Amino acid sequence: MKATEQKLKQVLADQLDIPVESVGENTSPDTVPTWDSMHHLRLVLALENAFDVSLTEEQVVEVMNYPLIKIVLQELGVEF
């Protein structure tokens, strides 16, 4: 696993208050009870800080699961 993917998993774990081992392809608001609107905003800010990117309003709405977060970050130049 690349360092950037481990970093992403750690950011999600930290912001959603879940174990890093539980972060994976199925991680979404449907599978993580703590993923509410406030945690989502914290997650977006943490992603922007961790990967030195800036998400558009559309991207903020799009990043609602682990695979989509990776896609958006890749669109912003983050390599996985």
Say how many C-beta atoms besides its own lie within 10 A of residue 68's C-beta. 13
How much is the pLDDT for 29? 97
Sketch the domain layout of the chain as residue ranges: 3-75
Q: For residue 18, which of 42, 35, 1 has the smallest C-alpha distance?
A: 35
The CATH number corresponding to 3-75 among 3.20.20.70, 1.10.1200.10, 3.90.550.10, 3.40.50.740 equals 1.10.1200.10
Q: How far apart are CA 63 and CA 61, in angstroms?
A: 6
Residues 24-78: pLDDT tens digits?
999 999 999 999 999 999 999 999 999 999 999 999 999 999 999 999 999 999 9
Q: With contact defined as beta carbons under 8 Å apart, do 14 and 8 qualify? A: no
How much is the pLDDT for 1? 67
For 63, phi then psi, to 5°, come to -80, 65
Token look-up 């360092």 returns 3
